[in-house]
Amino acid sequence: MDFTQKEEPAVEKPIIIAAMQDMGNVGSIVVNFINDFLKTKTFRIAKTPYPTYVVDRGGYIDLPNESWEYKFTEDLIVFGGGKGQPQSTIELNALCQDVMEVSKKYSAKFIYTFGGFHTNRFLDKNPKTYITTTSVGLTKQMEGLGVETTQKSIITGFNGLILGFAKQNSIQGIGMYGELNEPEIPQYRAAISIIKTLEKLTYRKFGDTTVRSNGSRD
pLDDT digits (tens, 9 = 90+) for 14-41: 999 999 988 899 999 999 999 999 999 9
pLDDT in tens, 115-157: 998 887 877 788 999 999 999 999 998 888 888 888 888 888 8
**What is each CA distance from 54 to 36, 43, 58, 89, 157, in whole angstroms?**
29, 27, 12, 20, 22
Residue among 117, 47, 112, 57 at smallest CA distance from 84? 47
What φ, ψ does residue 179 adopt, rounded to 5°? -65, 145
The radius of gyration computed from the CA coordinates of the chain, to the nearest angstrom, equals: 17
Asked if CATH classification 3.40.50.10900 holds for the domain at 2-202, the reply, yes or no, is: yes
HSE-up of residue 93 (Cα within 13 Å, Cβ side):
4
Report whether 70 contacts 102 (CB < 8 A).
Answer: yes
